[in-house]
Amino acid sequence: MSRDLRNQVFPCHLGIIMDGNGRWAQQRGLPRIAGHQEGVQTVKRTVEDCAEIGVKILTLYAFSTENWRRPKMEVDFLMRLAEEYIMRELPDLQRNGVRLQLMGRREKLPSSLLGVLDNVALQTKENSRLILNLAFNYGGRAEIVDAMKAIIMDQRKGNLVVSEIDENIFSHYLYCSNVPDVDLIVRTGGEWRLSNFLLWRAANAVFWSMPVLWPDFRKEHLQEAIGIYAKQIRNYNDGA
Ligand code: IPE
Ligand code: IPE
Ligand code: MG
């Protein structure tokens, strides 16, 4: 952890592993998809809260490369839900100065979802208050493998010399090369797992898991996690 990266007690880039939708629904005797539907409301609130409190980059883990193993009906529902959310949110994203971009593999995603994503990404690309990365069909290992493939292609084309590859150059080949390392990763639902999230960019991140289920996540939980982050950074700065 280099000191210069750690002098900010407020996280510039926040990543959230939005977990617990299924349990939220089960606790109410509802099908799991009802939890996902409720979770979308939390996404909407959290994007607005982050823009308001000054987070500059928000990465939301919405669908992992492992999530394809879920029942087809749930996967199909999540694809449709993402498409509907993005389509519906465009005016609010514009109003709040939010730039949306996909962070993930395009392969296997429905073309209608990609169309909506590309359109909203294009229309919001000048917004600079908050960058919202939708980690959808995202896997940290897939991202590193895809970066490696792109590096090999560039090397073959003569655009890159192997001996010059370093961590900085490598990071430009990750998804969304405009996105810096993540400062704080919050996981809801109480599990202490990374689940293949942001592996490369998480090298120096603070990780915090909270028992609250994603549909119940509120601004106070966001503030609590940011407080934990500030404490971790102060401890580090005092001790280093
Ligand atoms: C997280 O909630 C949302 C996605 C992975 C899409 P889950 O669906 O994993 O909910 P739990 O963990 O089963 O409660
Ligand atoms: C993590 O939740 C992935 C997302 C939030 C998209 P999961 O419920 O899929 O992860 P595991 O199965 O607990 O690792
Ligand atoms: Mg889960």
Max Cα–Cα distance, the chain, nearest Å: 59
- 162 domain-assigned: no
Ligand 2 neighbour 19 (Cβ under 6 A):
yes
Ligand 2 neighbour 14 (Cβ under 6 A):
no
- 167 domain-assigned: no
Ligand 1 neighbour 63 (Cβ under 6 A):
yes
Whether 68 contacts 99, CB under 8 Å = no
- 163 domain-assigned: no
Query: What is the C-alpha separation between 72 and 115, in angstroms, rounded?
Result: 21
Q: What percentage of the chain has pLDDT greater than the value 90?
A: 94
| Atom 3 (ligand 1) nearest CA | 19
- 175 domain-assigned: no
Catalytically annotated residues: 19, 67
Query: What is the C-alpha separation between 117 and 171, in angstroms, rounded?
Result: 23
User: Got the DSSP string for 33-82?
Assistant: HHHHHHHHHHHHHHHHHHHHHT--EEEEEEEEGGGGGS-HHHHHHHHHHH
| Atom 8 (ligand 2) nearest CA | 19
Q: Which residue type occupies 118?
A: D
CB atoms within 10 A of CB 100: 22
pLDDT in tens, 87-100: 999 999 999 999 99
Token pair, residue 42, equals: 């939390």
Which residue range forms the structural domain that includes residue 111? Answer: 10-139+181-237
Q: Is the pLDDT at 203 greater than 90, yes or no?
A: yes
- What's the pTM value of the predicted model, to 2 decimals? 0.96
Q: Tell me, what DSSP letter sits at residue 216?
A: G
Token pair 């919001």 is found at: 124
Q: Give the CATH number for residue 40.
A: 3.40.1180.10
CA distances from 182 to 137, 153, 207, 234 (A): 19, 27, 10, 18
Query: What is the C-alpha separation between 239 and 222, in angstroms, rounded?
Result: 26
Nearest to 83 by CA among 61, 115, 58, 56: 115
- 2 domain-assigned: no
- 152 domain-assigned: no
Collapse the DSSP code of 211 into the 3-class scheme (helix H, G, I; strand E, B; otherwise coil) and give the result.
Answer: coil
Token pair 């028992």 is found at: 211
Whether 106 contacts 143, CB under 8 Å = no
Q: What is the mean pLDDT of the chain?
A: 95
Token pair, residue 168, equals: 């900085």
- 120 domain-assigned: yes
How many angstroms is it from 191 CA to the middle of ligand 3? Answer: 9
Q: Is the pLDDT at 140 greater than 90, yes or no?
A: yes
φ, ψ for residue 137, nearest 5 deg: 55, 45
- 165 domain-assigned: no
pLDDT in tens, 70-128: 999 999 999 999 999 999 999 999 999 999 999 999 999 999 999 999 999 999 999 99
Nearest to 37 by CA among 197, 214, 234: 214
Token pair, residue 228, equals: 């934990």
Q: Is the pLDDT at 4 greater than 50, yes or no?
A: no
User: How many domains are there within the chain?
Assistant: 1
Query: What is the C-alpha separation between 91 and 222, in angstroms, rounded?
Result: 24
φ, ψ for residue 224, nearest 5 deg: -60, -45
